Amino acid sequence: MAAQPQQNFPGYLELIESIDHAVRFEAENDIVRELRGALCRLIRSDSVELPQEVFQPTDGHYARRELHRSEDLGYSVIAMTWGPGQGTPIHDHCGMWCVEGVWHGELEVVQYDLTEEDGDRFNFREVGAIQAGQGSAGSLIPPHEYHTIKNAHDDQIAVSVHVYSGCMTNCNVFMPIEGDWYQRQPKSLYLDS
């Protein structure tokens, strides 16, 4: 059974109203620009207090907890909890735009460009890395959607809030095979309670 969205935390309505406003723009660039600004403002203002559950890591993988899903506008809001050292392999967003805000802690985000394909083998080139701290936000618009995310610390958690253009239930991960070549593997995404 899927976990139910968390809708009873202080500032929930302000968060959703800000996101609703942004996703009503027509152009993806305008949507993600507005969302980045809204998330940064809300994180820094302390007007939104995420549920305590999102500050609890899970063993063995980062946790995904749904905060909201808009039936009318199609987007979803997922809080991710990153235990010490937890992260992702290179992955895509299956063609969805996304805005990611760091709510607590620090994340290391590495961007990649796809340079060559050969069947299910993909060649990537690292094009930039950032240490994203609390109150910062970034965005991905396909085809520039390949990246890794990792908790930058080995002794504390990190929490990020991700707004996707849809309900992201799967993606592709890319596992290293040799040099800059990776093997594509479909991955189903689940929600944690």
- Tens digit of pLDDT for each residue in 121-135? 999 999 999 999 999
pLDDT surpasses 70 at 73: yes
Strand ranges for 92-169 from DSSP E: 98-104, 106-118, 121-133, 137-140, 146-151, 158-164
Instruction: Identify the pLDDT of residue 7.
Output: 66
Helix axes 28-45, 12-23, angle to 10 degrees: 160
Which CATH number fits the domain that encloses residue 39?
Answer: 2.60.120.10
Instruction: Identify the pLDDT of residue 1.
Output: 37
Query: Which CA distances in Å does 35 have to 26, 42, 82, 120, 180?
Result: 13, 10, 22, 33, 33
- Average pLDDT over the chain reads 94
Contact 143, 161 (CB under 8 A): no
Each residue of 133-170: b (16+ CB within 10 Å) or e? ebbbbbbbbeeebbbbbbbbeeeebbbbbbbbbbebee
Quote the CA–CA distance of 138 and 157 in Å, as a whole number. Answer: 19
Number of domains in the chain: 1
**Any domain includes 127:** yes
Quote the CA–CA distance of 193 and 186 in Å, as a whole number. Answer: 23
Contact 157, 52 (CB under 8 A): no
Looking at the chain, how many residues does it have? 193
**Any domain includes 1:** no
Residue 46: CB partners within 8 Å, gap ≥ 6? none
Residue 20: CB partners within 8 Å, gap ≥ 6? 70, 73
Residue type, 87: G
Mean pLDDT of 16-35: 96
- For 158-186, the pLDDT digits (tens) are 999 999 999 999 999 999 999 999 999 99
Cα angle value 46/48/54 (rounded, 5°): 110
> Higher-confidence residue: 3 or 23?
23
Instruction: Identify the pLDDT of residue 6.
Output: 59
Q: What is the pTM of this model?
A: 0.93
Q: Give the burial class of 91: count Cβ atoms within 10 A of its Cβ; 0-12 exposed, 13-18 middle, 19 or more buried.
A: buried
**Any domain includes 3:** no
Domain membership of residue 130 as a residue range:
12-188
pLDDT surpasses 50 at 2: no
Mean pLDDT of 85-105: 96
**Any domain includes 146:** yes
pLDDT surpasses 60 at 64: yes
